[in-house]
Structure 1
Amino acid sequence: MSEKLLGDDGEFHVTDEAVDLSGTTVEAWAALGIFWALGLTVLYQFVTRYVLNDSAAWTEEIARYLLIGVVFIGASIGVAKNNHIQVDFFYRHMPTRMGKALGIAVDVLRTLFFVAAVVMTVQMMIKIGNNAAMTIVDLPMNIVYGVCLLGFVAMLARSLQVSWVHWQRGYCVLERPESTIQDR
Structure 2
Amino acid sequence: MADQDHTPISVEEMAHAFEDDGGPVDLSPYSIEDWITLAVFWAMGLCVFLQFFTRYALNNSLTWTEEIAANCLVIIVFLGAVMCVRLCRHIVVDLLFNFLPRKLGRAIEIAVDVICIGFFGYMSWLMWRYIGVVGTERMVTVDLPRGFVFYTVFVAFVLMLLRSVQNFVRDMTNRKTVREQAAETGYSGV
The alignment's TM-score, normalised by the length of structure 2, stands at 0.82
- 1:18 is the counterpart of 2:38: no
Q: Percent identity?
A: 36
* The one of 111, 114, 119 aligned to 2:117: 111
Contact residue 103 and residue 175 of structure 1 kept, 8 A: no
- 1:179 is the counterpart of 2:184: yes
Contact residue 111 and residue 159 of structure 1 kept, 8 A: yes
* The one of 85, 92, 95 aligned to 2:101: 95
- 1:137 is the counterpart of 2:129: no
Contact residue 69 and residue 147 of structure 1 kept, 8 A: yes
Q: Match of 2:130? A: 124
Q: Greater RCO between the two (CA within 8 Å, min separation 6)?
A: 1
- 1:51 is the counterpart of 2:57: yes
Following TM superposition, by how much is the alpha carbon of 1:9 offset from its aligned partner in structure 2, in angstroms? Answer: 11
Measured against aligned partners, the alpha-carbon deviations of 1:124-179 in whole angstroms (never above 9, x if no partner) come to 1012241x222222222211111111211111111111111111114425568743
Contact residue 91 and residue 175 of structure 1 kept, 8 A: no
Total equivalences in the alignment: 178
**Distance across 2 between alignment mates of 1:108 and 1:67:** 29
Measured on the aligned residues, the alpha-carbon RMSD in Å equals 2.7
Contact residue 91 and residue 174 of structure 1 kept, 8 A: no
Measured against aligned partners, the alpha-carbon deviations of 1:28-68 in whole angstroms (never above 9, x if no partner) come to 10000000000111111111111111100011111000000
**Distance across 2 between alignment mates of 1:96 and 1:18:** 36
Q: As a proportion of its length, which structure holds more helix?
A: 2
Taking a change above 3 Å as real, the CA distance of residues 34 and 178 of structure 1, as seen in their structure-2 partners, is closer
The alignment's TM-score, normalised by the length of structure 1, stands at 0.85
Following TM superposition, by how much is the alpha carbon of 1:97 offset from its aligned partner in structure 2, in angstroms? Answer: 3.1
Q: Give unpaired runs (5+ residues) of structure 1.
A: none
Taking a change above 3 Å as real, the CA distance of residues 129 and 145 of structure 1, as seen in their structure-2 partners, is closer
Q: Give unpaired runs (5+ residues) of structure 2.
A: 1-8
- 1:164 is the counterpart of 2:169: yes
Taking a change above 3 Å as real, the CA distance of residues 43 and 109 of structure 1, as seen in their structure-2 partners, is same
Which deviates more, 32-41 or 44-53? 44-53
SS of 2:167's partner is: helix
Following TM superposition, by how much is the alpha carbon of 1:118 offset from its aligned partner in structure 2, in angstroms? Answer: 0.6
